[in-house]
Amino acid sequence: MIDTVRRHMRLPRPLRLRPSRQRREAPLTIEIAASTGTGSTALSAFDAALREIGVGEANLIRLSSVIPPGARLERTQRISQPIHWGDRLYCVYAAGYACAAGERAAAGIGWTMRADGAGLFVEHEAATAEEVEHLVRASLADMSEHRHGDFGPVRLHTTETRSDGRPTCAVVLAAFGASGWDRL
């Protein structure tokens, strides 16, 4: 009956989501890259930074702070996973902006992991990398204190830039994975 109504009313089909307990054959690799970009607007500076790390043609889907158990984190200059025009890219990112000459912007991502490989990400923006590092460490201390398990040391990836009078952007991005729209 519902399919008949859906056909006549042209209702969208329900999404078919993969069960969350289904395990991957290979461990999830989360690539973390940083870049800066300059443009005529803050948005075009953000785009320039995204293109520099290889994700400029993706639609970013921002995730919160949880790293799945068994994930492997890898720092890289450029995101290497295949991303096709318009793909969805599931990611955590920080983007800091500066527009006035001499103004600085910094962005960073920090993480901590438990022995089972589960972990937490945080992302922050500030004027300097030192300020970002302080914010990341404070956030992860609060977040891990209220969860069970022993979390290891904090790891960080930050970047900083200075405006020459044009809008500039500092970006750090952790890419979980990309998916095309044909796979809803």
Contact 151, 12 (CB under 8 A): no
Average pLDDT, the chain: 89
Q: Which domain holds residue 45?
A: 28-178
Q: How many domains does the chain have?
A: 1
Tell me whether residue 1 is in a domain.
no
SS3 of residue 118 by DSSP: coil
| Residue 9 reports pLDDT greater than 60 | no
Task: Report CA-CA distances (Å) from 178 to 11, 74, 85.
Answer: 27, 16, 11
In a domain, 58, yes or no: yes
Sign of the torsion formed by the C-alpha atoms of 104, 57, 25 and 76? negative
Q: Model pTM? A: 0.83
142 pLDDT exceeds 90?
A: yes
Residue 151's CATH number: 3.50.20.10
Mean pLDDT of 93-120: 96
Is 163 part of any domain? yes
Residue 123 lies in a domain: yes
Whether 6 shows a pLDDT value over 60: the answer reads no
Q: Check residue 48 and give its pLDDT.
A: 98
For residue 8, the SS3 value is helix
Q: Give the Cα separation of 149 and 24 in Å (integer).
A: 23
With contact defined as beta carbons under 8 Å apart, do 39 and 166 qualify?
A: yes
Greater confidence (1 vs 58) lies with 58
What is the per-residue pLDDT across 149-170, written as a single tens digit (0 to 9) for each? 999 999 999 999 999 999 999 9
Model pLDDT, residue 16: 46
Q: Write down the residue that tokens 């400029």 correspond to.
A: 56
Residue 138 lies in a domain: yes
pLDDT beyond 90 at 110: yes
Strands 66-67 and 119-126: antiparallel
Asked whether residue 11 is assigned to any structural domain, the reply reads no
pLDDT of residue 1: 45
Question: Range with the lowest mean pLDDT among 25-29, 103-107, 113-117?
Answer: 25-29
Residue 183: its pLDDT value, please? 62
Note the pLDDT of residue 79: 96
Q: What is the pLDDT of residue 103?
A: 98
In a domain, 94, yes or no: yes
Please tell me the predicted confidence (pLDDT) of residue 14.
45
For position 90, what pLDDT does the model report? 97
Radius of gyration of the chain (CA): 19
Position 166 in a domain = yes
